[in-house]
Structure 1
Amino acid sequence: MIAKSLAAAAFALLPLAAQAQHAELPTDPAADWSVATSEHRVAVEGGKVWARVNGVIGEGATPVIMIHGGPGGTHLNFGNLISLADQRPVILYDQLDSGMSDHPENPANWKPERFVAELEAIRKELGVERWHVIGHSWGSALALEYAAAYPQHTASAVLSGTFISTPHWITGTNLLIRELPDDVAAAIRACEGPNPPAAVVCEPATAAFYSAFNGRPDRPAPSPEARAYRNRYGGKGFNATVYNAMWGPTEFRASGPLATYDATHLLPRVDGSRVMYVVGQYDEARIDTVQDFVALTPGAELAVVPGGSHAYISERPEVAEAIYRDWMNRIDAREKAE
């Protein structure tokens, strides 16, 4: 669903009262993209989450918050999209037990509704009335759930690399396995069976799947700025414990609580004219599957990133930025006209 390789590719419900430790940071436009205008620690159920803002809330266009994948991923995948802050505040954060946020490692926190409440706590703490929510992979599920629960605070919802249903996802990844060379596909099936072969067989086969659908070999190398940020980030990255507990060991089989997750019933509850789906041409989130979601969301749009996989944000950053920028500008213009 939301691969461990995302973190590598970047180099990939009751509202709660929130408390933050606020630090103002320099905003030199010549500085690299890692410099935030402000950083915050926001109290949520189970601990505090770390958030960063580029821009000033209340100035510019409607803010946007980026919701990372996982479960257990981090904000790193969105680094190149901070360029959107030339028009609007851009908010990045790490979910509880990930990255710079607290790591209580309490399985009681690992449920979708708590992650949705986490978003609302951040909104209230930062003083945002309405925002665009852009989710990627597992973050798409949270973006959809948030938009359905808080339509009054949602200017638009972007469901990128769309995961909103485990049955659809598992069907999709198993269809993609058939597109691989016969020997690779056979190895993956064996590795997912009751008596898997050794890692020397399974690891290359899984890597071949990711190379095709989640981090293609022609992706650009990380910029010096991205590498510098990762170094300063201190290695606080992907949390495999959360991923394995909530999802399972691989993209092809779900064994955790998300094994039965399906949020498609929420699609009729959101304003489809404020929903956009975005997938890569070679995405794990298969285009035909996402087209079915679009059909269930009247008025919604679909954008496909040419040459991109599930990691298209890092593979085709200029295209991703252009798609998101155009979408939010059009929604903002419509709201002004209404």
Structure 2
Amino acid sequence: MLEEGLIEVTGGRVYYQKYDKGTGRTPVIVLHGGPGSSCYSLECLQALQEERPVILYDQLGCGRSERPTDPSLWQIDRFVEELGQIRQALSLNEVHILGHSWGTTLAAAYCLTKPSGVKSVIFSSPCLSAPIWEQDQKRNLQKLPAEIQEIIQRCEENGTTDSEEFEKAIEVFGNEFVCRIPRPEHLKLNRHYRNPEIYNIMWGPSEFTVKGNLKEFDCTSRLNEITCPTLFTCGRYDEATPESTQYFSCLAPNSNFHVFEQSAHLPYIEEPEEYLQVVSEFLKSVDSR
């Protein structure tokens, strides 16, 4: 059964979907990437409803949620508060959290406020340190042809990251480190769900140099405080590199680590069957403890 609607949060109303076949198991809430993207790319996770309720939502300012124009709203603390407000509105007293990319940043920041009832966290292609992410992308860039590196570096230095030249260079990077298969049609159709202003304010105009308000974000020194079971996953060719993902996993006291061998940053699209199986088995193992 699909339930959908709008929830009042600080700054406006957010759109949510809840898939529930009445299994009675602990729900999982999904935190999409971005910042300023949408849950549309993660809708394959609704398949988990065969085992438990699945909640997807578009964070404020993007997707099908309201789009207030107050730039002061685009701060990580407000997104943390928003997650708590959604849990309260949907009576999610106990919950698993699955975050992807920026969603892992949000998941970690939320868990470090020590909320009750979080049974486990899945850090999918994690970004838990902006400085580490930046270093990893600079290393990834070095694996690309010299002319692509030159275009990206020059456009960043000249402030022309909105140029067609930069877009084409980013496409080459994306085909290597974001998604290594042709993009599904629904991803192309739903690009309008994004809000680049949020990304720009929080991250910056480019993937490779963090200039936004997340520039100093680094929770590695506190991952030992997340004591519930955790699963860290990434693709073999991920922007969230296997080396960094395994490093984060080593810092969490109750963690598992998995690499999707044929994937980059979107294993739930590149290897959906294995992704769903790994996530499902982890959640069931936590529920049975």
TM-score > 0.5 by shorter chain: yes
Task: Report the identity percentage.
Answer: 33
Q: Are the equivalent residues in 1 in contact too, given 2:137–2:208 (CA < 8 A)?
A: yes
What is the aligned partner in structure 2 of residue 278 from structure 1?
233
TM alignment of 1:1-338, pairs within 5 A: 27=1, 37-55=2-20, 59-194=23-158, 199-216=163-180, 218-219=181-182, 221-222=184-185, 226=186, 237-271=193-227, 274-334=229-289
Rounded to whole Å, the distance in 2 between the matches of 1:256 and 1:221 is 30
Q: Are the equivalent residues in 1 in contact too, given 2:7–2:13 (CA < 8 A)?
A: yes
Rounded to whole Å, the distance in 2 between the matches of 1:200 and 1:42 is 38
Residue by residue, what CA displacement relative to the aligned partner does 1:113-134 show, whole Å, maximum 9, x if unpaired?
A: 1111111111111111111100
Rounded to whole Å, the distance in 1 between the matches of 2:259 and 2:182 is 17
Residue by residue, what CA displacement relative to the aligned partner does 1:297-319 show, whole Å, maximum 9, x if unpaired?
A: 12311111111111222121111
Question: Which AA in structure 2 matches 1:307?
Answer: Q
TM-superposed CA distance for 1:38, in Å, is 0.8
Quickly say closer, same or farther: Cα 1:87–1:299, change in 2 above 3 A.
Answer: same
Q: Secondary structure at the match of 2:112?
A: helix
TM-superposed CA distance for 1:93, in Å, is 0.3
Quickly say closer, same or farther: Cα 1:38–1:295, change in 2 above 3 A.
Answer: same
TM-superposed CA distance for 1:282, in Å, is 0.6
Q: Are the equivalent residues in 1 in contact too, given 2:97–2:107 (CA < 8 A)?
A: yes
Q: How many residues align?
A: 289
| TM-score of the superposed pair, with normalisation by structure 1 | 0.80
**RMSD of aligned C-alpha atoms?**
2.1
Greater shift, 284-293 or 185-194, is seen at 185-194
Question: Which AA in structure 2 matches 1:75?
Answer: C
Residue by residue, what CA displacement relative to the aligned partner does 1:1-50 show, whole Å, maximum 9, x if unpaired?
A: xxxxxxxxxxxxxxxxxxxxxxxxxx4xxxxxxxxx21121111111111
Q: Secondary structure at the match of 2:262?
A: coil
Question: Which AA in structure 2 matches 1:266?
Answer: R
TM-superposed CA distance for 1:187, in Å, is 2.4
Question: Which AA in structure 1 matches 2:279?
Answer: Y
Rounded to whole Å, the distance in 2 between the matches of 1:82 and 1:168 is 31
TM-superposed CA distance for 1:191, in Å, is 2.2
What is the aligned partner in structure 2 of residue 17 from structure 1?
none
TM-superposed CA distance for 1:60, in Å, is 2.3
Task: Give the unaligned 5+ runs of structure 1.
Answer: 1-26, 28-36
Q: Are the equivalent residues in 1 in contact too, given 2:121–2:229 (CA < 8 A)?
A: yes
Q: Secondary structure at the match of 2:56?
A: strand
Greater shift, 191-200 or 204-213, is seen at 191-200
